[in-house]
Amino acid sequence: MSAASIPRIYHPFTFLLAAAAIYVCSIVVAGMLPDLPQAELVAIGMTCDLVLLVPALFYLILVRGRGWSPIGLVPVFILSIVAAAQVLPADRQAALSAFEIAAIPVEFGVLGFIGWRAQRAIRTVRGRLRGEHADAFDAIRDAALDVTGNATAASLMAQELATLYYAFFSWRTPLPESGFSSYRKNSWGVFVAAISMAVVIETFAVHLLIHLLWSSVAAWIFTGLSVYSMIWVVGDFQALRLRRHVFAGGECRLRLGTRWEVDIPLDVVESVRALGADEADTKTDKPLNLVLIGAPDVELTLSRPLTARGLMGFRRSTTRINLQVDEPERFLAQFPAA
């Protein structure tokens, strides 16, 4: 039976079942390798099965069977390399090292292509808005969706690219003249500066400690993760500065950086009110909290559920949203005007 003839609803299950069979067989054979003749050749065959056969099945069953973009093969290929490193014995990973080297230009090539598409999308949006501020995160996400053809993969790629964009390339972008920010009143900038300074000091000290007591490779891996964490913190802060809550097109568009976003038609807003600092929440339904730190000061109640998008494409449906706004009185005053 060809992949095209399998009912579409069974495609993911078929792929997972086939991949699981390959991994189970590989784990069993990996335990037998020390006693097998030609163990090195067997290990090479296992490597090809884990790194090449699993992505090939992904293509035949899901990409070809459901019309997904072939770009989706890239994360599957990279994850297959990571999984193979866990299955194969450490002394039988010579062939795997070649695949790891090959994965580096592949990943950077895909990210570069998405970045190029995102840059074109940003220019297009800015041209249409005739000089008004374009939402870079929306442009990056749309470009990633065009490339991958899959909303989940696009969200993951867009989050990574947007973090790098906001951390390195957005500082010449002027702050929006309109909208409502959510980071000044709680001194989030001071918190980010303190975290960044602590990461720098800790990374230097822990790098030396790991290098002396364990491994130089492990020390540099830790340092790389620490540097990326600091880049994420800086990019997140810049996104909070540029992506704000705005009223436009008959909607209240809530943006907490790239953490949360939801577009609320004004006719869906059932009530909006100020919240006291010590006010207890007695309602049974849990609200969506668009708060960095501290307590919310505005509550929106909706007449019907709306879906909010969070980090990495996470979604949540809600009928109640709590906000923390730098200017809550002016924000509340906008509703009658809107």
Over the stretch 143-181, which tens digit does the pLDDT of each residue have? Answer: 777 766 777 777 887 888 888 889 988 888 888 888 899
Which of 206, 226, 242 terminates a domain? The answer is 242
Asked whether residue 18 falls in the same domain as residue 56, the answer is: yes
C-alpha distances out from residue 42 to 24, 94, 124, 139, Å: 15, 12, 52, 47
Give the pLDDT mean for 248-263: 92
Q: Is residue 195 part of a domain?
A: yes
Q: Is residue 180 part of a domain?
A: no
Q: Which residue has the tokens 């010590």?
A: 278
Which of 198, 220, 242 terminates a domain? The answer is 242
Q: Which residue has the tokens 């509340």?
A: 332
Q: Is residue 178 part of a domain?
A: no
Half-sphere CA count of 224, side-chain side, radius 13 A: 6
* 105/290: higher pLDDT: 290
Q: Is residue 101 part of a domain?
A: no
Asked whether residue 238 falls in the same domain as residue 270, the answer is: no
Structure tokens at 137: 């995160």
pLDDT score, position 128:
45
Give the pLDDT mean for 85-105: 83
If you write DSSP's letter for every residue of 286-330 in order, what string do you get?
PPEEE-SSS---EEEEEEEEEEEEEGGG-EEEEEEEEE--SSHHH
* 155/240: higher pLDDT: 240
C-alpha 86/C-alpha 82 separation (Å) is: 7
Q: Which residue has the tokens 């008959």?
A: 250
Q: Is residue 97 part of a domain?
A: no
Asked whether residue 233 falls in the same domain as residue 253, the answer is: no
Residues of the chain with pLDDT > 90, as a percent, come to 24
Q: Which range marks the domain in which residue 220 is found?
A: 188-242
Arithmetic mean of pLDDT over the chain: 82
Which of 65, 92, 119 terminates a domain? The answer is 92
Q: Which residue has the tokens 């072939």?
A: 70
Asked whether residue 252 falls in the same domain as residue 280, the answer is: yes
CA 270 to chain CA centroid, Å, is: 32
pLDDT score, position 6:
44
Q: What pTM value is reported for the model?
A: 0.65
In the chain, the number of structural domains is 4
